[in-house]
Every structure is written in C-alpha cells, then in structure tokens.
Chain A
C-alpha cells in the first residue's frame, strides 16, 4: 500500500517502511541501542533524501529510547544525575551539530560528510567491538573469567577538577569528561542521524567506569533527550522532519524492540557484542565501498528554492 510522505515528497510502500522499523527495532531491542546507524542508511537506500532521513530518524530514536528509559526506570537502573550532566553537554552538541548540518547542506557536502563519518566511526567502533568480544570469548574458552577485573585503576581522567559524586552509579568523577562525552554524542547524533547509543555505552564504561547495571538505562536517557531536541531543532531550522515517515518507523520500531529484547536475553554478552560489532563494521564497509567505487551517477540535482 503506497502512502505519500508530505515532507519527503514521495510515495513509499507503508509495509516496507513498517517492516524496516520492525527489523531495526528488533536489532535495537536485542543490543540495547537506538539503531539509527542502520535506519538512516536504509531510508537513504529507498530513495528518501539524506537530509530528510537524518532529521526524521531522530524522532524514531527518541520513541524507541523512551520505551527503553521507562522499562529501565522501573528496574531502578537509571542514574538520572549522570544522565542530566551528560545532557548539559549533549544539548550544546546537538545545537552545534544541527548548525553544521545546515551549513554542509548548503555547501552540497552533506552526503559526503555523512558518508565519511559513517565509514570512520562505524569501522573503528565495529573493529574495536569485534576485537574486544573475540578476546573475551577466547578467554572464556580457556577457562579464565570472561571480563578481567580492572580494579580501581585511576587514569588521567580521574585527576580532573570539578569532581562530582553519582550515587546510583557509585562513581566519583570530574564533570568535564561527562560534559565532553555528552557534547560528542549530541553532535554526532545531529549530524549523522544516529542516537549514538553504541558509542555512548562503551565510552561510559571505559572512560567513566560506569557500572554495567546503570549504563544502558542512563545512556538511553541522554539519547531520548538529545534526539527529542534534535527533532525540534531540525524542524525549526531545516523543516525536514517528516512526521508521517517518523510515525510509521516508530510504530514498527517499538514493536520490533520488544521481540529483539526477548531474543537478546537468551544470548551471552560477548556473543551479543561480537554480533553487534560485526553489524556495525559491515555498515561501515558498505559506506566505504560506496565512497570509493565510481558512482553510477556523477551528476545530481537539488532544488534550492521556488521562484
């Protein structure tokens, strides 16, 4: 069944988009991520302009992280204080990201920037995740404990001023790296149309030593608020948020996420991380391939305005 998208200005098959929402939702529920890094490329692939895709996916991620936040909140695994501190940087990062997005779009370099960012970010993060999870699986097969105890190792991050105590996560760290991480995630999210959950979770674990119990719930709070504000900012500055497209994606996404979460519970953590790493890496490779291989169409046209 075809439905005409009012902002993207083209008809799409409603069941195709719903199916994409379900599939990405399944993956996001399984790994506890937003799934923007999969959804944005998929939308571009079915013919929606990258700009509309990035702007609309923001609201889709907001919906899926909202249902995540609620269920983690019930289990009391959300560190609200940490989430709000991350957010202080996150909102600023989102604003800068939306601004850069507007500038790049007018220069005609948005697609290229999105492409390169996907390649660099996804292949780097995917590679690291594969490496880490393969090591963990190997260690396990050798009969050693899966995760080596890091102890209370202090890094330079712990020497920074403005220290704060986050009770629920049981950590005592400087506010500076917290703001910085928030800023980076907000910025990347706005420019690339990803929630950044798959980046934020490892950053919180490795840099701030946030315990695994609170890390996903807290990261989802940040994702929810940055993506909801990215939706508003994209709507105000670029007028490119397609609410009809977003709604179809959301409905598919939140349903898919429920089944994904059930599937994920039956899998071991390292294997889950390995799978996610492979997936992230594959999407990165796909973008690299697209940048290097001569495109079928070297000319492109875009409407700047009406008379």
Chain B
C-alpha cells in the first residue's frame, strides 16, 4: 500500500519535472507603488509605478534573447453610449448611436517596444495585445458583439477615450532597467473613474508568451469629495434641500453684509 503510493508520488514528480523540462521557465514578480489612489479636492491626476523582474527558474537557463513586457491596466467596466451628429435641416443633431457594454473605463497598454515587434500579427490579434485589439462588446440589434477594427464607431470611440487620456498605448511605457528588471509608469488622469483597476503583466521572449502576473489597485474618493458624491447619489432629497438652503443662506448673508440702507 505504502509502496504503491510512493511510486505514484514519484511518477507525479517525474511528470512535473518533465513538463517544465529543459525549456527554461520564468517567474514574473511585480510590485506596485500604491494599491489605493485617493481622490480628494486637489486631485489632478497621478501616476502609479510598477516594478517587476523576470526570473529564470535556474540561473543557467538564461535566454539568449531579451525579454519583452506588456503591461495592461484596465479600469472599472462601464456602459457607454456613443453618438454621431449629422446635419438635419441645416443644424447638427445627434442621430446614429452605438452602445458599448461593459467596456473598460480606463485602458492602458504599456510595453517596452511596439507590440507588433514583440509578437507576430496573429498573436497580437488573438491575445488582444494592442489597444486596438481589445474586445469592445457592443449592442448590435439584439446581439452583443464586437465589430471589425475599422468600424467608424469603434475607431472614434477609442480616439475619444484616448483624447480624454483614459485610453492609451505607449511603446516606451515599460523601461528595462536591466535585462530582467523593469519599471512601468501608469498615468491616471483627473477624470479616471472610481473603482478597481486590474493590472496584467505579460512577459514575452521570441514572440512567445512566457508567463504573466496580475495585480490591482483601487481609485477611491475620500473625505469631503466622497461625502458629497455619496450624498448626491444616495440621499438626493436631503442633498437637494441642503444645497437649496445653502443658496438661500448665501443670498441672505450677502444682503446683510452689503446692506446699504
């Protein structure tokens, strides 16, 4: 009985060794500078620094080619409607629209060189490596699907998001400090929405994905801003009455202070 177990364990262990094999395996270790970004009244955007190393499992298994890294940061999912203005009776009005379902509110693709040079076109597309390759589900009639890459609603959606600094792709966003140690700076604009942000780090060599690691951080409103935003959303009536009272008090105060008769 005991003997059989030992054999089984030995076999498993042998299989494990064979699986990883002589083809070197790497480990990705990352560390993020902050796990929480606090939005207060003086918040004008910030940046978070991610450090990491790609470690070969054994020192002898060092590769001949350099490592490539792609860091993808995606913010809380949102439902966003996009509208297009058309000329109707001489004036410009919103006519056609497209709804994007559960798309990242923030999306950053940072790499140490253009993603097209890290992997071949096929891999880039299937693994959604570039900003333009990300899945953007849209409501199309009764279906939810993504559309062809050069669809005008899709390209303009990415362009508008990029202009707000909410979507970005930087081919120099990751700096390799040594062949194995890297640093990436994630910049968050002031309009970055509140919520959880996922950080996905992928290490490539010779156009092949070696390993990946995940991390996350959170953007939260704090103090007065948090208080006001929650009050407006959850206690609309009290909030409205308070604001109206504040207006009346301000007006009354001015009338008293500037009294001329």
Interface residues of A (CB under 8 A from B): 2-4, 6-7, 9-11, 59-60, 62-71, 74-75, 108-109, 111-112, 116, 224, 227-229, 231-237, 239-241, 243-244, 246-247, 250-251, 254-255, 257-258, 291-292, 294-295, 297-307
Contact = CB atoms under 8 A, between A and B. Distances in A.
A225 to B, nearest CB: 10
A305 B105 CA distance: 11
Interface stretch (B60-68, B209-217, B232-240): B232-240
A132 B13 CA distance: 97
Which A-B residue pairs are the 8 nearest by beta carbons? A66-B251, A235-B240, A254-B254, A232-B240, A70-B255, A62-B247, A307-B77, A63-B247
B247 A246 contact: yes
16 contacts: A6-B229, A70-B252, A71-B255, A75-B261, A116-B91, A236-B236, A244-B41, A250-B251, A251-B250, A254-B254, A299-B84, A299-B153, A301-B83, A301-B160, A303-B78, A303-B105
Contact of A109 (B79, B84, B93, B251): B93
A227 B246 CA distance: 13
Contact of B250 (A247, A294, A303, A304): A247
Given A239-B236, A243-B228, A231 B247 contact: yes
A284 to B, nearest CB: 14
B225 interface: yes
B42 to A, nearest CB: 7
B123 interface: no
Contacts, number: 202
B255 to A, nearest CB: 4
A74 B255 CA distance: 10
A241 B229 CA distance: 10
Interface in B177-202: 190-191, 193, 195
B250 to A, nearest CB: 4
Contact of B225 (A6, A63, A227): A6
A244 B191 CA distance: 17
Q: Which of B92, B228, B229, B256 has the most CB of A within 10 A?
A: B92
Contact of A108 (B39, B94, B233): B94
